[in-house]
Amino acid sequence: MHAIHYNDFPFIPSKVVCIGRNYVEHIHELNNEIPSSMVVFNKPNSAITDTLRFISSDTRFEGEICFLMMKGKVAGIGFGLDLTKADTQNHLKAKGLPWERAKGFDGSAVLGKLVPFDGPLESLRMTLHINGILVQEATYELMIYKPLEMIEEIKSFMSFEDGDIIMSGTPKGVSTYKIDDEFVGRIYSDTTLLVESRWRVLG
């Protein structure tokens, strides 16, 4: 578990709340069904890291827009990677079992720097480049469930602690990765770059 930074101040969130299957094309690329209600799962704070490591040959990256929650509202924004052990998840899904072994392992919530944000959520866009190639891109419009819907649904059964993170789901383009790959994740408000995070995959 590592501290992450908001406005250059280090802290450790109590949890990361993740929204699954929030982009239609990503649902299709994994041959999943479009859910009838919001898919929500948690990563413990032991999963949080600022370092991207090679985990296994079946581990996928999933780039996501991340929201920092303070006083029950979005206070900051950043780029994050939800790492997933794909073979393990497929086995668990086939048996109808929980996903923690595939989603909540140590180092599975890779978070970049978070910066203050109070602008229009509708303006948000993210990109992920690996080794200089654009592999993922998403906008607010492509989300099935928008940020305010996520917050209300989560609040209906679980409390936010100040500093908690919402990972809002990943668009199409997820894949495995290898040691020494260079990741660059960016969050924009329209055409204005809000924050950029870079990682080199460690062994």
Average pLDDT over every residue of 66-94: 94
pLDDT exceeds 60 at position 98: yes
* CATH no., domain 4-200: 3.90.850.10
Average pLDDT over every residue of 86-102: 89
The per-residue pLDDT for 45 is 93
Residue 121 token pair: 């959520």
- Where do the structural domains in the chain lie, given as residue ranges? 4-200
Average pLDDT over every residue of 124-151: 95
The per-residue pLDDT for 31 is 64
pLDDT, one tens digit per residue, over 150-202 is 999 999 999 999 999 999 999 999 999 999 999 999 999 999 999 999 999 99
pLDDT, averaged across the chain: 92
What percent of the chain lies above the pLDDT cut of 70?
96
Between residues 155 and 90, the one the model is more confident about: 155
The per-residue pLDDT for 148 is 96
pLDDT exceeds 90 at position 116: yes
The pTM score is 0.93
